A = this chain, B = another copy of it.
């Protein structure tokens, strides 16, 4: 089995086999193998690539893996790679790297590339500026289609994309965007201003990159113009970078939703310690919060000693409440992320989720009533059933509204994770359960 994989061939020291494998596979598959390998093997494999494919493969790696590979390169090999990178990719690599490494990269660059990279690094982390391509072909508004096409031919080789062309005035201010398609299909003498779309949205370089990427997705754009505070065109955010931004944001949300910190690299290349570290903080916070459930149960210990059978339904009750809360929280976080819900929808969300919780609670209460009567007795069953109705209603309401509240006060809504909601619902659910038990069982 290992003989078919790159690292299997590496284990066997089969250089000819390795080179054959590398020649037969597309860059993104090679990049995937590199990302899964440990740093030493990754560098060994990378060195076997010819110069052209080396750069293509390198561009497909995420910044963590890029750093691993670069750390193992010296001299010209190092210089060729860093100089060949797109300025935005380079800025992203440096943004995450330690200062010493960043210095080495910057020293290996030509003055022009260094200036371009430094400019992008001037924008805050997570902003559009870090992801935009500064190398675009801007078209003056007074040109004809034929002249504009000449400009594309003269300067297109250098640009990252020529499919969307920003149209500018004499002061480089944004007038609209021009699609290369329209330019190619148009009559040569038509003025650019007639072909340009002046309604395309644009963003500032300091704007949030995720919001810009989602906007591109909603508006089906291949590239989004990026401007400065005086509306001068700085570059374009291209769809491949936008897709990456969205995937990274989704991966982060997914991790947060399970109460873990997002991993910076590839799952398979992360060490046990890295994985444990990404999950430890939340688990610690949650176990401390869960201590409150011990306090609640201590408070009701006398009731519990009187009727030990009440304890039998604790996991079922808190589990069900937790599940209902987790469902609601996850739905709300996702709806916020994709823009279906806004913070001002809070009252509507609370009202509908409380009814959803009620409907679900009533349905589950029927099951609990049956199970409880069958396994224990009717009064206990009634206690459990009533508790489930209230707990579900409560769980769905706070599960769905907490992410909106978090967003409104400026916290990432995804930190309202399923485990966090579950833990909160556990403690409050127990209070509801024992209060109902005391009433129903007349304790």
- Chain A residues with CB under 8 Å of chain B are 1, 26-28, 31-32, 35-36, 59-60, 149, 152-153, 156-157, 161-163, 180-181, 184-185, 199, 201, 215, 217-220, 222, 239-240, 243-244, 246-247, 250-251, 253-255, 257-260, 263, 266-268, 272-273, 275-276, 279-280, 282-284, 286-288, 290-291, 293-295, 297-298, 301, 304-305, 308-309, 311-316, 318-320, 322-324, 326-327, 329-331, 333-335, 338-341, 344-345, 348, 352-353, 355-356, 359-360, 363-364, 367-368, 371, 375, 418-419, 422-423, 426-427, 430
| Residues from chain B with Cβ under 8 Å of A308 in the complex | 301, 304-305, 308, 311
Whether A316 and B345, one on each chain, are in contact in the complex, defined by CB atoms closer than 8 angstroms, is: no
Q: Complex formed: what's the CA distance from A375 to B305 in Å?
A: 17
Partner of A360, one of B244, B276, B304, B345: B276
Known: A283-B327, A297-B312, A319-B322. 14 other contacts (CB 8 A): A156-B185, A222-B239, A257-B330, A259-B323, A272-B359, A276-B356, A282-B327, A283-B324, A286-B320, A291-B375, A298-B312, A301-B312, A315-B318, A319-B422
Shortest CB-to-CB span from A91 to chain B, Å, is: 18
Q: A222-B239, A276-B359 are in contact. Are A335 and B26 (CB under 8 A)?
A: no
B352 and A275 within 8 A (CB): yes
A180-B180, A201-B26, A356-B275 known; A364 and B287 CB under 8 Å? Answer: yes
Q: Which residue of B lies closest to A305 (CB)?
A: B308
Query: Shortest Cβ distance from A203 into chain B, in angstroms?
Result: 13
Residue of B nearest to A418 (CB): B418
Overall SS of chain A's interface: helix
Distance of A214 from chain B, by nearest CB (Å): 9
A430 to B315, CA, bound (A): 9
CB of A139, distance to nearest CB on chain B (Å): 14
In whole Å, how far is A123's beta carbon from the nearest beta carbon of chain B? Answer: 22
Q: In the complex, what's the smallest C-beta–C-beta distance from A353 to chain B, in angstroms?
A: 8
A327 and B280 contact, CB distance less than 8 A? no
Would B276 and A293 count as touching, CB distance under 8 A?
no
Which of B219, B220, B316, B360 sits near A290, CB closer than 8 Å?
B316
The answer on a CB contact under 8 Å between A330 and B260 is yes
Asked whether A360 lies within 8 Å of B280 as measured between CB atoms, the reply is yes
Complex-state Cα separation, A201 to B25, whole angstroms = 10
| CB neighbours of A331 from chain B (8 A) | 255, 258, 260, 263, 267, 275
Number of copies of this kind of chain in the complex: 2
Cα(A313)–Cα(B275), bound, Å: 27
Residues on the B chain within 8 Å of A267, using CB: 331, 334-335, 340-341
Task: Give the chain B neighbours of A280 by CB distance below 8 A.
Answer: 360, 363
* Cβ of A155 to closest chain B Cβ, rounded Å: 10
List the B side residues contacting A246 at CB < 8 Å.
243, 247
Contact B279 A327 (CB under 8 A): yes
User: For A153, what are the chain B residues with a Cβ–Cβ distance below 8 Å?
Assistant: 184-185
CB nearest to A295 among chain B residues: B375
Nearest Cβ on chain B to A137's Cβ, whole angstroms: 11
Tell me whether A314 and B316 are in contact in the complex, defined as CB-CB below 8 angstroms, given that A268-B340, A356-B275 are known contacts: no
Q: Which residues of B contact A293 (CB under 8 A)?
A: 315-316, 319
Complex: A250 Cα to B338 Cα, angstroms: 11
**Do the beta carbons of B199 and A181 come within 8 Å of each other?**
no
CA distance A291 to B251 in the complex (A): 34
Bound complex: CA A251 to CA B217 (Å): 15
The interface residues of chain B lying within 8 Å CB-to-CB of A283 are 320, 323-324, 327, 360, 363-364
Q: How far is the CA of A279 from the CA of B353 in the complex (A)?
A: 12
21 CB contacts below 8 A, A to B, read: A26-B199, A28-B215, A60-B218, A60-B220, A153-B184, A156-B185, A162-B184, A184-B184, A217-B244, A243-B243, A260-B327, A260-B331, A267-B341, A268-B335, A283-B360, A298-B312, A314-B314, A315-B426, A315-B427, A315-B430, A322-B322
> Quick one: closest B residue to A318, CB to CB?
B315
- Please state if A423 and B268 are interface contacts (CB–CB under 8 Å): no
Contact (Cβ within 8 A) A422 B184: no
